[in-house]
Structure 1
Amino acid sequence: MSTTERPRILVVGGGYVGLYAARRILKKMRYAEATVTVVDPRSYMTYQPFLPEAAAGSISPRHVVVPLRRVVRGAEVLTGRVTTIDQDRKVATISPLVGEAYELPFDYLVIAMGAVSRTFPIPGLAEQGIGMKGIEEAIGLRNHVLEQLDKADSTTDEEVRRKALTFVFVGGGFAGAETIGEVEDLARDAAKYYQNVSREDMRFVLVDAADKILPEVGPKLGQYGKEHLEGRGIEIYLETSMDSCVDGHVVLKNGLEVDSNTIVWTAGVKPNPALSRFGLPLGPRGHVDCNEKLQINGLDYAWAAGDNAQVPDMVGRKAGNPNAWCPPNAQHALRQAKVLGDNVVAGMRGFPQKEYSHANKGAVAGLGLHKGVAMIVMGKVKIKLKGRLAWYMHRGYHGMAMPTWNRKIRVFADWTLAMFLKREVVSLGAMETPREEFYEAAKPAPAPAAPAQEKAKAS
C-alpha cells in the first residue's frame, strides 16, 4: 500500500459496480488528482449472469472473471476486507488476507459490496447447501454433479444411487431457473457416456415460495418457462418452501420428502451484512440509503450503487409511483457505476452532480442450450420472445455486457467452439483437496507392530 498526500477515494468492493466505478473515476480524473484504492477479498470481479453457463461447462470459468489489477491500472488494489469504517475520523479498518489489520484514511468513499445469499435458519442448509454467487461455487457445482453420476454408475446400492441422482434447487428466480436449466442439460449430455445412468434415472426438483418462476420476465413468459422446464422432466413445486435438509434428507412444506446429495440454494440475495458496521444510514432491508444522485444520505463525501444500495427509481417516481426503487440487477449496476464515477469526480471538484435515471430495457434468461425467454422494452412496447431467438438475445446481451474486450472475445470463442465440439464432461473434484494424494504419499509410515514375543515379555 502506497502512502500519498493526494486525496484518497476508497472503493469498498471490486464487483461489477466497484470495477466500473473505479475505471470511470480513473478515466475522468486529471493526472495525480487523487489516489483510487479498491479493496476486495478477491483479486478479481465475477460476472454473475454467466455462472450458470460456467457450471454447465459452456464457458471456461477463467473467462467469467476479470482480474482487477489488470483492468483498473493506476489504482491500488488491496486484497482483504473492510471490517469497520469510522465516519467521524474517515478511517477504514482493513483486514488483509494475511497479517494484522490496519487503518486506512480516506477522503471519499464508494460502497460497492454487492449482495450475499439470503438464507434462513433451516436445519442442514449450512452443511448441505451449495450457493451460486461466486465462480468457486459454479465450479464446485459442476464437479459435484458429475461426481454424483460417477457414484451412481459405480454403485450397486440402490439407495446411494437414488440419492446421488436427485438434484434439488431452491429458488425460481433468474439464478435458480437458469442454473437448473443448464445443469439438467449438462447431466443429460453426460449420461450418454455412462453405462448404468440415463436421464430417466435422474430426478430434478425446483422449489419456490412464490406462485411463479422467473417473475422478472412477466407472468406469461414465466409460465412458458415453467412449462418448458416441466417438459424436460423437472418437477416444480410453487408456493412451498424447504423445512429441513439434514444429511441430505429434504423435507418440503407441502409434505414431499426426498433424499439428495445436491441441494442448490438460489432463494434470493440480501445486502452484505458488513454494512451494519460502517456507520451508514440503512434502509429497512439493510441497503445503504441513497438519493437520486447515488450519494449516501447525510454524507456528502460518500456514494453507493448496485445490490447493496437503495436507489430511487426516478423513472417510476416521475410516472407516479413515489415508492419506486431500482431493482438489483446487472442492467442498473452497470449504468449506476458510470454515473457514480462521474459524480465522485464532480463532487471532488465541487461541481454539480448528475441524477441517475434509467428506464427498464427488459430482461433475458437462458434455460439451457438453445432455450430461453426474453422481454425487450422499447418505449411503451414490450416484445416477448421465447425459445432459440430469446436464447440468442440472452447470449448477445450478456456477451456484450461482459467487462473488457479481452473477456468478451474469450467468451464468444468458447461459444463458437461449442458449436463444433462436444461438451466436456470431466469432473475435477480433486481440485478441492489437491494435496490429498501427495499427503498420503509423503506422510510417515506407521511404526511396525511389536512382535508377539516382545508383547508377551512386556506383559
Structure 2
Amino acid sequence: MPKILIVGGGYAGFYTAWKLEKHLRSNEAEVVLVDPLPYMTYLPFLPEVAAGSIEPRHAVVSHRRHLKKTKIVNAKVTNIDHANKTATISAPGGEDWEYEYDQIVVTAGSISRTFPIPGIADHAIGMKSIEEAVAARDTLIRNFELAASLPKDSELRRRLLTVIVVGGGFAGIEAFAELRSAANALLGRFPEITFDETQFHLIEAMGRIMPEVSLATSEKVLKDLASRGANVHLDTQVADATDGVVTTNTGEEYPSDLIVWTAGVMANPKVVGGSDLPREPRGRITTQADLRVVTEEGDVVAGAWAAGDIAAVPDKTGGLPDGTCVPNAQHAVRQAKLLAKNLVAVIRGEEPVDYFHKNLGAVAGLGLYQGAFQSGKFGMTGFFAWLAHRGYHGLAMPTWERKWRVLWGWVHNFFLGRDLVQIEKVQDPRAFFEEYASRPKPKPDEVAPEAVKAASPEKQDA
C-alpha cells in the first residue's frame, strides 16, 4: 500500500486524515499522522476558553477517538528529505527514527509572529494554544484574588488589574473583548474591587481594527468596547515590555501582569526550515491551487502536498491582496477537505481539482451577548451578531460529540453563570506534595563538616 504521512494534526491535518478515512477504500493506503499533541485545537474558541465560557477540554478534539483508521504518532517531524521521501521522527525521550513515505501532507500550521522587543519573550503570552488560553484565564482570576487583598493605592494592585492585548485583528479583538467581559463578571464576586480600577488596553499599530470587516463595522466595535471601559490605542506600537511594564512608542507606560500577544502569525519555522520543500519569501511552502507543492518555476513536486497556515495557496477568487489565501481556520478546513479528495484522485490516476473558496462572511464573539458579523457589505454588531457567532462556530466544531459538549456547556453557563474558579497550581502539581514530603536523613559521611562541628559535645558544653 502507498504510505501517506501527514505532518501536523491541527485543522488541516486532522481534517485531511478524517476525510481520507472516508474516501479511501479498505487497504488502499496507510495513513500516518504525526503531531506532538494528541488533539486538534479549535482555535476560534480560545477567547471563550480564556473568558471561562467554554470548558478547555471541550475546545479540543482527540485524534485517537475520532481518527479510527489512522495511525497516530505523538512526536515531532524534525526533518523532511523529500528527495529520498523520508522523514525523521523524534519522540520525547526516545531516539530519532526514519519513516519512508510515498505521499507527504505538510499541515504543521503556524505560530505567533513576534518581534525582538525587549521583555515580550519573557512576559507575554500568545493565544494560539489551549494551554495559553487556560493560563490567561487563570492569571486573570488569580490577579483579582491577589488584588482584592491589597490596599487601593498599591502599585502592585494597579498592575494586577491591568490587562494588555497587542494586536487588533480578529484574534486580538476577540481575546480583548472576552477578557473584558470576564473581568466584568468577576467584579460581581469581588466587592473590594471597583470597575474603574480594572484597566484594559489594546495596542494596534494600524489605524483601525479588524481589517476582515468593513470600516463601519469596526468603528461600531470600537464604540462598544469604549462603552465597556476598554481602551484601544490605534497607530501605536509596543517599544518595550521589560519587567512587564509595557512602554509604547508614544511614551505611555502600562505595568501589567497579563500581556497577551496576538500581532500576527507565521508558518511553523521548524517544520519548513527542516525540509527540502520549496518555500516563498514569507516562509510558507509554495503550492498550486490543487494543493500540490510546486517549485518557483511552477513544476509540481511529485508526492508532496501542503495546506493551511503553512502553505501559500493561490487565491483563485482574486479577492486577496497578495494573491494567496490568508491563514485562517476557514481556509484550512476547506483546503484539507479538498486535499483529501485530490490525494485519493492522484492515487487512483485521476486529475485533482483547484481550491476555490470565496469568503461568505466573518463572525466574532466580543463577550457575552456581544458580537460582530460581516457578509459582503452588510455588517452588524450586538446580540444577533453574537448569536450568529455562536451558531456558526457551534456547527463548525468537528464531530457531533464535541458539538454537544460545547452546546451543553453554553446551556449550563446560561443558568449557572460562567465558572470563575482558577486552578493555576495545576501547572505545578507536585509543589504541595514536595513541600511537605519526608526525605531520607543524610548519612554521617554525607554531613558537612560545619554541621558536625556545630553538633559536637564541646560546642554544646560551651
- Say yes or no: TM over 0.5: yes
Secondary structure of the corresponding residue to residue 292 of structure 2: coil
Deviation at 1:71, TM superposition (A): 1.1
Q: Deviations over 1:175-230 (max 9, x none)?
A: 11101111111111112112421222111010011111111112111111111111
Q: 1:71 to 1:453 in 2, by over 3 A?
A: closer
Contact 1:40 / 1:78 at 8 angstroms: preserved in 2? yes
CA distance in 2, matches of 1:282, 1:146: 43
Q: 1:215 to 1:443 in 2, by over 3 A?
A: farther
CA distance in 1, matches of 2:136, 2:30: 39
Partner of 1:253 in structure 2?
249
Contact 1:117 / 1:133 at 8 angstroms: preserved in 2? yes
Match of 1:136 among 126, 131, 134: 131
1:266 lines up with 2:266 in the alignment: no
Partner of 1:362 in structure 2?
361
Aligned runs of 1:384-399 on 2, under 5 Å?
Answer: 384-399=379-394
Q: 1:112 to 1:220 in 2, by over 3 A?
A: same
Gaps of 5+ in 1: 1-5
Aligned runs of 1:129-168 on 2, under 5 Å?
Answer: 129-156=124-151, 158-168=154-164
Q: Give the letter aligned to residue 392 of structure 1.
A: L
Deviation at 1:121, TM superposition (A): 0.7
Deviation at 1:231, TM superposition (A): 1.4
1:313 lines up with 2:315 in the alignment: yes
Q: Give the letter aligned to residue 341 of structure 2.
A: D
Q: Give the letter aligned to residue 380 of structure 2.
A: L
1:282 lines up with 2:279 in the alignment: yes
Deviation at 1:349, TM superposition (A): 1.6
Q: 1:22 to 1:458 in 2, by over 3 A?
A: farther
Partner of 1:79 in structure 2?
74
Aligned runs of 1:13-412 on 2, under 5 Å?
Answer: 13-156=8-151, 158-274=154-270, 275-297=272-294, 298-316=300-318, 323-377=322-376, 382-412=377-407
CA distance in 2, matches of 1:422, 1:347: 51
Deviation at 1:324, TM superposition (A): 2.1
Contact 2:214 / 2:379 at 8 angstroms: preserved in 1? no
Deviation at 1:360, TM superposition (A): 1.1
Q: Deviations over 1:324-381 (max 9, x none)?
A: 221111111111111100011111122110111111111111110010110124xxxx
Q: Give the letter aligned to residue 371 of structure 1.
A: Q
Contact 1:217 / 1:364 at 8 angstroms: preserved in 2? no
RMSD: 1.9
Partner of 2:297 in structure 1?
none
Contact 1:192 / 1:198 at 8 angstroms: preserved in 2? no
Secondary structure of the corresponding residue to residue 273 of structure 2: helix
Deviation at 1:452, TM superposition (A): 7.4
Secondary structure of the corresponding residue to residue 84 of structure 1: strand
CA distance in 1, matches of 2:458, 2:51: 59
Secondary structure of the corresponding residue to residue 38 of structure 1: strand
CA distance in 2, matches of 1:244, 1:443: 45
Number of residue pairs the alignment of both structures matches: 447
Contact 1:301 / 1:347 at 8 angstroms: preserved in 2? no
Secondary structure of the corresponding residue to residue 201 of structure 2: strand
Q: 1:419 to 1:322 in 2, by over 3 A?
A: closer
CA distance in 1, matches of 2:40, 2:275: 22
Q: Deviations over 1:276-310 (max 9, x none)?
A: 21111111101110101011003121111111111
Q: Give the letter aligned to residue 304 of structure 2.
A: A
Contact 2:217 / 2:381 at 8 angstroms: preserved in 1? yes
Q: 1:193 to 1:455 in 2, by over 3 A?
A: farther
CA distance in 1, matches of 2:458, 2:238: 57
Deviation at 1:322, TM superposition (A): 9.2
Structure 1 residues 60-69 or 239-248, which shifts more? 239-248
CA distance in 2, matches of 1:453, 1:329: 72
Q: Percent identity?
A: 44
Q: Give the letter aligned to residue 213 of structure 1.
A: I
Contact 1:282 / 1:288 at 8 angstroms: preserved in 2? yes
CA distance in 2, matches of 1:144, 1:93: 38
Secondary structure of the corresponding residue to residue 411 of structure 1: helix
Contact 2:244 / 2:256 at 8 angstroms: preserved in 1? yes
CA distance in 2, matches of 1:135, 1:219: 31
Deviation at 1:415, TM superposition (A): 1.1
Contact 1:214 / 1:225 at 8 angstroms: preserved in 2? no
Deviation at 1:446, TM superposition (A): 8.1
CA distance in 2, matches of 1:384, 1:323: 24
Deviation at 1:444, TM superposition (A): 2.7
Gaps of 5+ in 2: 295-299
TM-score for both structures, normalised by structure 2: 0.93
Secondary structure of the corresponding residue to residue 408 of structure 2: helix
Q: 1:31 to 1:455 in 2, by over 3 A?
A: farther
Runs of 4+ in 1 over 6 A off after TM superposition: 445-453
CA distance in 2, matches of 1:221, 1:102: 52
Q: Give the letter aligned to residue 170 of structure 1.
A: V
CA distance in 1, matches of 2:307, 2:212: 20
Contact 2:83 / 2:276 at 8 angstroms: preserved in 1? no
Secondary structure of the corresponding residue to residue 175 of structure 1: helix
Secondary structure of the corresponding residue to residue 459 of structure 2: helix
Q: Give the letter aligned to residue 13 of structure 1.
A: G
Deviation at 1:455, TM superposition (A): 6.7
CA distance in 2, matches of 1:281, 1:453: 74
Deviation at 1:457, TM superposition (A): 7.0
Partner of 1:3 in structure 2?
none
